[in-house]
Amino acid sequence: MAHQTFNDPWGSGECESEHVSHNYVERSNWQLCHRIDWNGLIGVHGERHAERFHPNAWRQLGRVARDLDDLGRRFHPSGRSYPLTWLGDVGVKVCKPGWHRFGLAVDLSRISWGSQYVDFNAHWRPSVASHLRLRYLAAVAVFRCHFGVVLHAYNDPDGSHANHVHLDRSRHAVALARDYLSDQSIIHLTANWLLGRNLRVAEGWGDDTEAAYQDLLECFGMASRSDSDVELDPLTRADHFRMLLRLIARTAFHNAEPGVFIVPSTPNAESPDES
């Protein structure tokens, strides 16, 4: 499938573009809070504040928030419900080269579900507890459901994403691509942290990655099955890739073994506006 892109933002010297200003994401109780300081590795965030978004990016971030809220309400390992409360950010519309210029890129620093949270500076690091790294993976998988570009500590082309995750709309949330680093990194991290593999993250898709990918499909009930009339192929269909990403997110957030959450035998296709 061809990658869909918007017009090249570097071709424009203008910083003004269509935007909306909000201090929340989709629902007024899903607040936006800006990172203002540090407590060790953990970001300190201030009160609710507003950012300027391109309407497209704000709509997509709302879909991210829905999935994050669903994770907290239904998939916390304690069995308790933790609704989404706020998202921490470090910038959206900024007058500089790239997709931030048009408000089509979002830099997130933290997701909070009340007393539960993931900090994007702290919780990717090998020194933290495994369930926190899995929570980081769960968030990254949710982001990729709705944003084509997801840059994070393990997919960091310019060395600036150790303390936040960058999402942008330069590429739509299309099907899984073996040659695409955002997608490679998610498969590699999932294989390493859930299946115990030792793949080099975002450094190519070789035979070991392909074998791990096929094992993940098997674990999540997405391989060819005699009890299903639906062929599931994340490599050709964006909605099937989102199924895989949500299964990764639920398994990682729940700190569960692969296979605890699987696709039903008659999965429902998602609507086109999810892309």
Residues 93-120 have a mean pLDDT of 94
Residues 32-50 have a mean pLDDT of 98
Q: Quick one: pLDDT at residue 95?
A: 85
Say if residue 214's pLDDT is above 60: yes
Tokens (6 digits) for 217: 């499909």
Q: Quick one: pLDDT at residue 227?
A: 55
> One-letter amino acid identity for 152?
H
Query: Which residues, in sequence order, are CB contacts of 80 under 8 Å at separation 6+?
Result: none
Positive/negative CA dihedral, 31, 34, 35, 37? negative
Q: What kind and span of H or E run contains 167?
A: strand 165-168
Residues 241-263 have a mean pLDDT of 96
Tokens (6 digits) for 19: 């935007």
Q: Quick one: pLDDT at residue 14?
A: 61
Q: Which region holds residue 130: left if phi is over 0, alpha if psi is between -120 and 50, else beta? A: alpha
Q: Quick one: pLDDT at residue 228?
A: 55
Residue with token string 């090998």: 126
| Cα 187 to Cα 197: distance, rounded to the nearest angstrom | 11
Positive/negative CA dihedral, 253, 100, 164, 113? negative
Say if residue 133's pLDDT is above 80: yes
Say if residue 4's pLDDT is above 50: no
Residues 163-177 have a mean pLDDT of 95
Say if residue 98's pLDDT is above 90: no
Are 85 and 71 contacting, i.e. CB atoms less than 8 angstroms apart? no
Q: Quick one: pLDDT at residue 230?
A: 64
**Residue 232 CA to its chain's centroid (Å):** 21
| Cα 260 to Cα 61: distance, rounded to the nearest angstrom | 28
Q: Quick one: pLDDT at residue 3?
A: 44
The alpha-helical segments, DSSP class H, found in the chain are 55-74, 130-146, 181-195, 207-219, 238-253
If DSSP codes are grouped into helix, strand and coil, which group holds residue 33?
A: strand
Q: What's the mean per-residue pLDDT of the chain? A: 91
